[in-house]
Structure 1
Amino acid sequence: MLKLFASLVVLLAGVSPALAATSTGMALGVDPAARLEGKQGTKTLVVGTDVFIGDRVVTDAKGLVQIRFSDKTKLVVGPGSSLVIEDYLLRDDGSGGKFAINALSGTFRFVTGGAPKDRYQITTPTGTIGVRGTAFDFNVRPDHFSLLLFHGAVQMCNKAGKCVTVDDFCDVGMADLSDARLLGNTNSFVGAERTSMRGMFPYAVSESDLLGTFRIAQARECLNRAVVPNNPDAGGGNPGGDGPRQPPPNGGINGPVTHVPG
């Protein structure tokens, strides 16, 4: 790990001003196998690889990519996933754009950076995610997409224009071709439903594969805390109670985490 961190420092120090002005982000963590498909062809992703507008990131069943963009937005591309960087806040010609990605399939984590929140847009095969300054995990499948919120708020809309706002800690939303709806708080899911959620949002179960900067304080509380089905104070979606949801300590993403070098 120390060798990996030293290599990363060298790579960051060696990026020329001209290259830094045109690249949108850099891969800070990569586990085999992952590749980048871009204008220059296909190449294996490694730590320090620059990512540009138009690039497609693809991982196999064991792949993992952790990208930090120049505005400090963070993106995790989990195993068996693919996405395309469609636009970025500052294009190659100096004009302004949006932070736009097309998440084609798989598991992801997204944390916004310093840009205005209305400049972020995530597209999926069945709808869009409008970001309002937030941190969340999401899962994309051919017929629907799901989202687990940690901080801030998002608007999930399907292609038919039906939308739902997700704005509470540990709330889950889903959108498909027919509807967009709030499924409830993770504290309300038990049995097979809870097992399914743990499979869709693996980084809310364990962050051991993530670098420290990609970890979110309190994220693991959503799917690892004890279930209290009928507690009226436990949060939304609980059978028999609609009491107030409990917010994460320290504002969600700013609490203490154990950092891995890098």
Structure 2
Amino acid sequence: TAQGNASLVVAGRSVPAAPGAALVRSTLLKTGPDASMGVTLKDNTLLSIGPNTELALEEFMFAPAQNQLRLDARMTQGTLNYVSGVMAKLRPQAVTVRTPTGNIGVRGTHFVLSVAKE
């Protein structure tokens, strides 16, 4: 779901966020001052991002039968409410959220992250 000025940026091209939109490698989820966006990934991970947020999904692989599990995200500013999906339960070390000041190794949990713009 998306409200307000919420967009997906891929290879420098920005499109409005819409339900059912495909997220490819290195998709940047971006919200404006009065916007928010909710994303459910294939493994049922829930990402809720608030206003003025930039969250890049650097890599997402969810193919348990092929043992391919990876979520690597980079957040440069804004707020994120994260609820783990199946991947964090199957292989907790496969999930990482990076910020300008450190990395979060997700171990099957729920957290809220706030990153101030530098």
TM-score class normalised by the smaller sequence = 0.7 to 0.9
Instruction: Tell whether the 8 Å contact from 1:125 to 1:142 is kept in structure 2 after alignment.
Output: no
1:225-247 per-position Cα deviation (integer Å, ceiling 9, x unaligned): xxxxxxxxxxxxxxxxxxxxxxx
SS where residue 118 of structure 1 aligns?
Answer: helix
Contact in 2 for aligned 1:126/1:142 (Cα 8 Å):
no
Q: Which residue of 1 aligns with 2:112?
A: 137
Q: Which amino acid aligns with 1:68?
A: T
CA contact (8 A) 1:31 1:65 kept: yes
Partner of 2:79: 107
The residue number in structure 2 matching 1:205 is none
2:105 maps to amino acid = G
**CA-atom RMSD, angstroms?**
1.9
**1:200-254 deviation per Cα after TM superposition (whole angstroms, max 9, x unaligned):** xxxxxxxxxxxxxxxxxxxxxxxxxxxxxxxxxxxxxxxxxxxxxxxxxxxxxxx
- Please give the TM-score of this superposition, normalised by the length of structure 2: 0.87
Q: Distance in 1 between matches of 2:92 and 2:69?
A: 13
Q: What's 2:15 paired with? A: 43
In structure 1, what is the Cα distance between the partners aligned to 2:58 and 2:12? 16
- Find the partner of 1:54 among 23, 26, 43: 26
Higher strand share: 2
Output one character per residue of 1:172-219: Cα deviation in whole Å (capped at 9) or x when no partner: xxxxxxxxxxxxxxxxxxxxxxxxxxxxxxxxxxxxxxxxxxxxxxxx
Conserved 8 A contact 2:29-2:55: yes
Instruction: Please identify the structure whose Cα radius of gyration is greater.
Output: 1
Determine the C-alpha separation between the residues in 1 that align with 2:117 and 2:10.
23
How far does the alpha carbon of each residue in 1:57-95 deviate from its partner, in whole angstroms, 9 at most, with x for none?
A: 11001111100000110101111111100111248xx78
Task: Report the residue type matching 1:120 in the other structure.
Answer: V
- Is the Cα–Cα contact under 8 Å of residues 78 and 117 in structure 2 kept in the other structure? no
Moved >6 Å (runs of 4+)? none
Within a 5 Å distance, the mapping from 1:74-223 to structure 2 comes to: 74-90=46-62, 96-115=68-87, 116-142=91-117
Match of 1:30 in 2: 2
Range with bigger deviation, 31-40 or 69-78 = 31-40
